[in-house]
């Protein structure tokens, strides 16, 4: 929480047990092979398009009424985190949304901001990485840029199994570097709107 308060972004490697992350990774792979993950789109509601040159992942949104036991366990953890974020930062978070994201080799996501400055209900972005065998050269890092200079790189976060990232959604330009192997995560946003 201190890093998030000071820098508006933070990472941790010890929040989720590796066995839990491995099980989520296996579930994501299985769902992808069963065709449950669909090509991600870009744009706003009503004008969404698919452009693999800009965004190359496949996603599956987690829903309370259809969540597996494993997915529900993750959702429960995010509910607890939402309460803690509200307690520490008074963000007025009302809900969150989350999805599996699988980037096949060659996939990435060009630089963007999760909310346009001054608008939008996404307050905190979160990512849990699910890549047990990630190694240097596999790509898929999360590049985080300065809020006031989108060409100034702050950090690159390796998508290693169990790494958990939080950052202020409206502040940071960021991108997913091209992946050279399958890159898995659970990604989402804490929001301050009701629905």
Supply the CATH number for residue 12's domain: 2.60.120.620
- Counting Cβ atoms within 10 Å, is residue 180 exposed (0-12), middle (13-18) or buried (19+)? middle
How many domains does one find in the chain? 1
Is the residue at 50 inside a domain?
no
For the beta sheet containing 149-157, the strands, ordered from the edge strand earlier in sequence to the opposite edge, are 109-112, 174-176, 142-146, 149-157
The bridge status of strand 38-39 relative to strand 58-61 is antiparallel
Residue pair 5/153 in contact (Cβ under 8 Å)? The answer is no
How far is residue 75's CA from residue 163's CA, in Å, rounded to a whole number? 17
pLDDT, position 159: 97
Is the residue at 143 inside a domain?
yes
Confidence of residue 118 (pLDDT cuts 50, 70, 90): low
Token look-up 């890093």 returns 3
Confidence of residue 38 (pLDDT cuts 50, 70, 90): very high
Is the residue at 94 inside a domain?
yes
Tens digit of each residue's pLDDT (9 = 90 or more) over 5-22: 999 999 999 899 999 999
Is the residue at 47 inside a domain?
no
Average pLDDT value for residue range 104-122 = 84
Q: Is the pLDDT of residue 185 over 80?
A: yes
pLDDT, position 171: 93
Q: Which helix (H) or strand (E) segment is 60 a member of?
A: strand 58-61
Domain range spanning residue 97?
A: 2-41+55-191
How far is residue 28's CA from residue 26's CA, in Å, rounded to a whole number? 5
Tens digit of each residue's pLDDT (9 = 90 or more) over 52-67: 567 889 999 999 999 9
Is pTM, for the whole model, over 0.85? Answer: yes
How far is residue 172's CA from residue 154's CA, in Å, rounded to a whole number? 10
Residue pair 186/61 in contact (Cβ under 8 Å)? The answer is no
Is the residue at 48 inside a domain?
no
How far is residue 71's CA from residue 138's CA, in Å, rounded to a whole number? 26
């Amino acid at each position: 929480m201190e890093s998030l308060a000071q820098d508006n972004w933070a990472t941790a490697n010890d929040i989720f047990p590796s066995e839990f992350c491995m099980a989520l990774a296996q579930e994501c792979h299985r769902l992808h092979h069963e065709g449950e993950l669909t090509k991600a789109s870009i744009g706003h509601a009503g004008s969404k398009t698919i452009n693999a040159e800009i965004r190359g992942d496949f996603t599956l949104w987690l829903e309370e009424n259809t969540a597996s036991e494993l997915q529900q366990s993750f959702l429960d953890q995010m509910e607890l985190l939402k309460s803690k974020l509200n307690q520490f930062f008074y963000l007025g978070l009302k809900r969150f949304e989350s999805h599996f994201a699988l980037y096949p080799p060659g996939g990435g996501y060009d630089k963007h901001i999760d909310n346009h400055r001054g608008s939008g209900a996404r307050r905190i972005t979160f990512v849990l990485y699910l890549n047990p065998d990630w190694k240097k050269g596999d790509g898929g890092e999360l590049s985080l840029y300065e809020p006031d200079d989108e060409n100034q790189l702050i950090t690159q976060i390796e998508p290693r199994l169990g790494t958990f990232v939080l950052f202020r959604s409206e502040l940071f330009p960021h991108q997913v570097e091209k992946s050279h192997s399958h890159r898995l995560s659970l990604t989402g946003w804490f929001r301050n709107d009701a629905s």
